[in-house]
Amino acid sequence: MTSFYLGLALIIAITVNARPAAVRVAGMLVAAAAMGLMAWSIVLADLDGTFARAPAASRTPLLLNIEAALLAAGVLLLLWGVPRQFRRPAGAVPPRSTPAAYGHLTRGLHWASATLVIAAFVMGQFVAVLAPDRPERAEFLATHMSIGGAIFLMTFARLIERLFRLAPPAPMAARAGHFGLYALLFATSLTGLALATAPVPLLGLSLPQLPPGPLAAPLHRTVLPILFGLLFAVHLAGAVKAIRRMAR
């Protein structure tokens, strides 16, 4: 399952930044299909009684249903934007970022990371709600951890690119928000590695375990996701122009 999501992230990163409009549209349709499948998996969990077996005090089923609604809204937005791609001229994109435009590398890392963050978040919520004896829980958990490791490596690459390459100017608040997101992604990945009971496999490599601590579980499962969700919402609200540049 990890290979599927990594391949999906790669396809989306390449296609949504392609110069031909037809290729960009294909990438948008792939992204819409993936988001639709995630939303449908949550609906199926509602229908087959998976959420009904969760503890009564658990808010995870509610959060997952909210995520399903947001994913469905994302699908509609992507489909709404398809015709625009054929009317919108595509300019040349530099390989690396410049003060005039984000480069292919920055754009690719951005969309690949976004794809994996959504997948990891939804999968982590499923791990929290599935009973320990459910056979798919172990696979979901393994995939969640491997994707988290990939997000950590991509975030590191994005930070290096951001520090050593010029980028289109942005307000100080937007820049602070970007680095805040990087910090939260690092913290979420590191606390996840601290919770792992074995080295996390990723494309034939093994990411090392970190020493467990009493704060790792509450930070990874509650505090950091809430902070990330809030900052991500602010990021989307205040970075419309930047997102348009990322998607041409």
Q: Rounded to an integer, what distance in angstroms lies between the CA atom of residue 150 and that of residue 157?
A: 11
Structure tokens at 67: 């995520």
User: What DSSP string runs through 161-209?
Assistant: HHHHS------HHHHHHHHHHHHHHHHHHHHHHHH-SSPEEETTEEEPP
Q: Rounded to an integer, what distance in angstroms lies between the CA atom of residue 108 and that of residue 240?
A: 18
- How many domains does the chain divide into? 1
Candidate ranges 117-121, 162-166, 203-207; pick with highest mean pLDDT: 117-121
At 101-115, the pLDDT tens digits run: 888 888 899 999 999
What does the DSSP 8-state code read for residue 16?
A: T
At 12-54, the pLDDT tens digits run: 999 988 888 899 999 999 999 999 999 999 999 889 888 888 7
Q: Rounded to an integer, what distance in angstroms lies between the CA atom of residue 185 and that of residue 205?
A: 20
The residue segments making up the domain with residue 242 are 2-246
Q: Rounded to an integer, what distance in angstroms lies between the CA atom of residue 174 and that of residue 121?
A: 23
**What is the pLDDT, as a whole number, of residue 236?**
67
Asked whether the beta carbons of 36 and 77 are under 8 A apart, the reply is no
**What is the pLDDT, as a whole number, of residue 244?**
52
With residues binned 3-state (H G I as helix, E B as strand, rest as coil), the percentages for the chain, rounded to 5, are: 75, 0, 25
Structure tokens at 183: 């910090």
Tell me the whole-structure pTM to 2 decimals.
Answer: 0.88
What does the DSSP 8-state code read for residue 152?
A: H
Asked whether the beta carbons of 15 and 24 are under 8 A apart, the reply is yes
Could you give the angle at the alpha carbon of 120 between the alpha carbons of 84 and 199, nearest 5°? Answer: 145
User: What DSSP string runs through 20-61?
Assistant: SHHHHHHHHHHHHHHHHHHHHHHHHHHHTTTGGGS-TT--HH
Mean pLDDT check: name the lowest of 39-53, 64-78, 227-241.
227-241
Q: Rounded to an integer, what distance in angstroms lies between the CA atom of residue 49 and that of residue 44?
A: 9
At 56-68, the pLDDT tens digits run: 778 888 888 988 9
**What is the pLDDT, as a whole number, of residue 246?**
47
Q: Rounded to an integer, what distance in angstroms lies between the CA atom of residue 224 and that of residue 180?
A: 12
Q: Which of 4, 3, 1, 24 lies closest to 14 in space, CA to CA?
A: 24
